[in-house]
Amino acid sequence: MPAHDVLIIGAGLAGQRAALAAAQAGSSVAILSKVHPVRSHSVAAAGGINAAINVADDWRSHAYDTVKGSDFLGDQDAIEIMCSEAPKEVMHLEHIGVTFHRNDSGELDLRAFGGASMKRTAYVADITGQAILHVLYEQLMKHHEQVERYEEWFVTSLLQDDSGRCCGVVARDVRSGRMETLKAKNVILACGGAGQVYSPTTNALIVTGDGIAQAYRIGAPLMDMEMVQYHPTTLVENGLLITEGARGEGAVLLNSEGERFMEKYAPNKMELASRDVVSRAEQTEILEGRGVGANKDGIYLDITKVPRKRTLEALREIVNIGKDFAGVDITREPIMIRPGQHYIMGGVKTDVNGATSVEGLYAAGEVACVSVHGGNRLGANSLLDTLIFGRRAGEHAAARAASMALPDSSDAQLREDAAMIDAIIARPRTGRRGSEIKQELGETMNQYVAVYRDQEGLEKAHEIVKRLQAESKDAYIDDKGTVFNQDVLGAIELGYMLDCAEATVVGAIERKESRGAQFRTDFPERNDEEWLKHIDISLNGDGPEISYSAVTMTQWEPEERKY
């Protein structure tokens, strides 16, 4: 049975950063991913990464913007750590080979992003995630003697010893179908978010909430799950993202009357208000009949305001996306967009070192909720979150590993998981097809748990999620094989997505106020007196149980949020 000091599930930015940190601290490390590491969803990150690098900037200003962006739900101790450590982390990336854009004076160039009081987003054109991910992977190769890579392996369960400590995982080699128990002193979840719970979404097919559900199932609480970010600029046709970098470079939003309507909603920051504010403004324009397009369900994003040469240089990916997926040359005409699901602020509750309440289990990146984003994440703060808290989790797990023996584990869970997979493959073609259930889930969430929410819609969503949970138990699949059987993995992922959806809906029903991404039309005001607190969700028996935890305040008192 393979055994490691630190076993990392997920090889996106959080996972690879954690692996490097743990290896550099002297641990024996393994990193496991259900896709090849550089196909992890971090590769899609476009616009950039925030850090107060400019000499006129200060990390405290970045921290204040983040606290305000979070609608005061973010934990300020974690935000202070993230923002104060940001400049060093970005410089470190540059030193190991990330080719950040430089200006004519040779300094790191910074672009404007939403909710920021000054330009502080470092970028590599609009392929920032890809650039960082490839450089980190190259670094991992350098540590190949210490870091074992399980590429295209799918984790089916987290293991616990008799005293409840996390002591490894059960995983399936996607290429062959072979199951294996991997023992570890510490496991770090870096499995990304759960965007596929929604349809459409900007997130890739692999972003199915696996780590969130797996942690929840072994008793780790989830936090802030009701906070789901809708990004203001996703393609009407299919939900693909047009980076906020476009508005950072000067693109504007227009309604059917040709008005720059953000003047009404955020007169100071206009298109660069925080994402929840801009998405709500667009949705209001659409609901009030000022949308564009045949169905009046879009808004124009006019990128022709940006000099063509600059667009072709700094926004080249979205030039291609516009052409390939909407048939629009964004350098010459406006493109139709609307708010679309993009990111989840919630996740597995951790402390500032990534530790969860289950001993030996850590989480970092989008799977985790530390919580630096609170009710709303600022653009370009997620890459930073993955790297800062990925590193901290790696270092902490390595230090813990140095002072302990390998816990015991058996093959009992492996036998259970293998039987579960055989049972899925053997299901008769009687119930529904798994993919249909997934589609209904996504559309339900996008209808009732979106930019605007109310009690009636949320209860309806909950009812549907419960029904889909029951139907998923005998949903059938077509592929009966062992080699690259994505069908069977899809059935397992569907269970994870349904767990995440339920936690999101239950949290949204519970929070009877409007804060950040949660806007309740039946409770339209923020209510600090009753709701300035996190909603924690734990699995009790078969269903979610709610408790609360305090928001950590250090230096910023809640105030009215205006942009």
Tell me which residues touch ligand FAD (CB under 6 A). Answer: 9-15, 32-35, 40-42, 44-49, 128-129, 154-155, 190-192, 202-203, 206-207, 210-211, 241, 343, 365-367, 380-383, 386
Indicate the residue among 128 and 186 with the shorter CB distance to ligand FAD: 128
| DSSP letters for 498-525 | HHHHHHHHHHHHH--S-BTTB-BTTB-S
Q: Give, as one character, the DSSP assignment of residue 478.
A: S
Q: Are 507 and 499 in contact (CB under 8 A)?
A: no
Within the chain, what is the greatest distance between any pair of CA atoms?
68
Smallest gap from Cβ 381 to ligand FAD, in A, equals 6
Give dist(CA 463, CA 461) in Å, integer: 5
Distance in angstroms (rounded) separating the CA atoms of residues 370 and 502: 21
Using DSSP's 3-state secondary structure scheme, residue 77 falls into: helix
To the nearest whole angstrom, how small is the minimum distance from the Cβ of residue 543 to ligand FAD? 23
Catalytic residue of the set 111, 172, 247, 275: 275
Nearer of residues 488 and 509 to ligand FAD, judged by Cβ: 488
- Residue among 348, 350, 385, 497 at smallest CA distance from 129: 385
Minimum Å distance from CB 45 to ligand FAD?
3
Nearer to ligand FAD, 367 or 401 (CB): 367
Closest to ligand FAD by CB, 146 or 201: 201
Burial of 530 (0-12, 13-18, 19+ CB in 10 A): exposed
Partnered with residue 254 across adjacent β-strands are 300
CB 19 within 8 A of CB 393: no
CA–CA dist 233, 322 (Å, integer): 12
Q: Nearest distance from residue 358's CB to ligand FAD, in Å?
A: 17
Query: Among this protein's residues, is 511 annotated catalytic?
Result: no
- In 3D, which of 239, 249, 231, 230 has the Cα closest to residue 330? 249
Nearer Cβ to ligand FAD (67/372): 372
Closest distance to ligand FAD from the beta carbon of 366 (Å): 4
Q: How far is the CB of 447 from ligand FAD (least distance, A)?
A: 21
Q: Nearer to ligand FAD by C-beta: 72 or 343?
A: 343
Nearer Cβ to ligand FAD (246/509): 246
Closer CB to ligand FAD, 202 or 514, in the complex: 202
Q: How far apart are CA 224 and CA 70, in angstroms?
A: 11
Beta bridge partners of 349: 369
Neighbours of 487 (CB within 10 A): 18
- Given the complex with ligand FAD, which of 35 and 450 has the nearer CB atom? 35
Closest residue by beta carbon to ligand FAD: 12
Q: How far is the CB of 485 from ligand FAD (least distance, A)?
A: 14
Least Cα distance to 373 among 4, 93, 115 occurs for 115
Q: Which residues of 350-389 form beta strands (DSSP E)?
A: 361-363, 368-369
Q: Shortest Cβ distance from residue 380 to ligand FAD (Å)?
A: 4
| Token code pair at residue 492 | 């397992």
- β-bridge partners, 155: 171
Q: Is 377 left (phi over 0), alpha (psi -120 to 50) or beta?
A: beta
Collapsed DSSP state (helix, strand, coil) of residue 562: coil
Write out the two tokens for 510: 């519970």
Pair of tokens at residue 60: 């405290």
Residue type, 410: S
Element holding 424 (H helix, E strand): helix 412-425
CB of 219 to ligand FAD, least distance (A): 18
Tokens 């030039």 label which residue? 319
Q: Residue 80 has which token pair?
A: 């202070």
Calculate the CA dihedral of residues 463, 189, 382, 25 and round it to 10 degrees: 170
Catalytic residues: 275
